[in-house]
Amino acid sequence: MKIKVYGILKRYVGDRDYIKIDIPEPTTVADLFSKAGIPGKYVFIVEKNGKAITKDITVNNDDEISLIPFISGG
């Protein structure tokens, strides 16, 4: 599974733009955070294949996930 990571979340994955992890069984987004070593409280938006999802949704190994932190902006 490819997990694209933005902003401050990169510091939890070795300052990389994305990581790849293997999940043999479908898992929830919340479980994915602990597998990837990313603190869930810093994640504001989770997207599965470009669509926003909630943290209780199940994801599969062939999904592409994007994790986005809080947006202050402007």
Cβ-based neighbour number of residue 29 at 10 Å = 19
Can you tell me which of 45, 49, 55, 61 binds other proteins, judged by CB under 8 A?
45
Rounded-to-integer distance, Cα 73 and Cα 1, Å? 29
Choice between 24 and 73, CB closer to other proteins: 73
Does 6 help bind other proteins (rule: CB under 8 A)?
yes
- Give alpha helix (H) positions in the chain: 29-36
Residues in contact with other proteins by the rule CB under 8 A: 4, 6-8, 10, 15-17, 41-42, 44-45, 52, 66, 68-74
